[in-house]
Structure 1
Amino acid sequence: MLVLSRKTNESIIIGDHIEIKVLAIEGEQVKLGIVAPKSVKVHRSEVFEAIQEQNKAALNIDTNIIQKLTKKK
């Protein structure tokens, strides 16, 4: 893990196209601005983990249900 110190209005660059800028520091909360191409998905870690769990749950769907839904009467 790389650890960097930044002050308000300072930023870091990741690769050629992603910039993370410190917008404000208020107590224990840090506000970050992220500039990235639209093709790069940016999520908070808890949202990313929830998406991963939903994707895993979707893989465990009962195949009999799919067969019943696709059967023509």
Structure 2
Amino acid sequence: MLVLTRKVGERILVGDDIVITVLDSRGDGVRIGIDAPRGVKIQREEVVRAVTEANAEAAAAAAGSGDDAEARLRRALGDLPARETPDA
């Protein structure tokens, strides 16, 4: 990891087409601006982590209710009867 000290208004160049500018420094936070091509994804790590965790929870919940979802879909289609499962 490269660690740099920058002052407000100073820039960091990443490759040929990404510029990071220090906009403001307050207390324990720093505001930065990022100029990059449209095709470059720029995301906050905590947001990506939260979305990934929410997707995993939704997938686990869907996997647990897979039979119910299939039965609802079959009923909604109308032309397929709900599959009956034998009592164990």
If the length of structure 1 is used for normalisation, what is the TM-score? 0.73
Residue 70 (structure 1) aligned to one of 57, 69, 73 = 73
* Residue in structure 2 matched with residue 49 of structure 1 by the alignment: 49
CA distance 1:18–1:68, shift in 2 (3 Å): farther
Alpha-carbon distance in structure 2 between the residues aligned to 1:68 and 1:57: 22
- Structure label with greater radius of gyration: 2
Using the aligned pairs only, state the percent identity.
Answer: 40
Highest RCO, 1 vs 2 (Cα 8 Å, sep ≥ 6) = 1
Partner deviation per Cα, 1:16-47 (whole Å, 9 max, x = no partner): 33221101112222110011222222222221
Q: Structure 1 unaligned runs (5+)? A: none
Query: Greater strand share, 1 or 2?
Result: 1
Alpha-carbon distance in structure 2 between the residues aligned to 1:24 and 1:12: 14
If the length of structure 2 is used for normalisation, what is the TM-score? 0.64
Q: Structure 2 unaligned runs (5+)? A: 79-88
**Secondary structure of the corresponding residue to residue 67 of structure 2:** helix
Query: Greater helix share, 1 or 2?
Result: 2
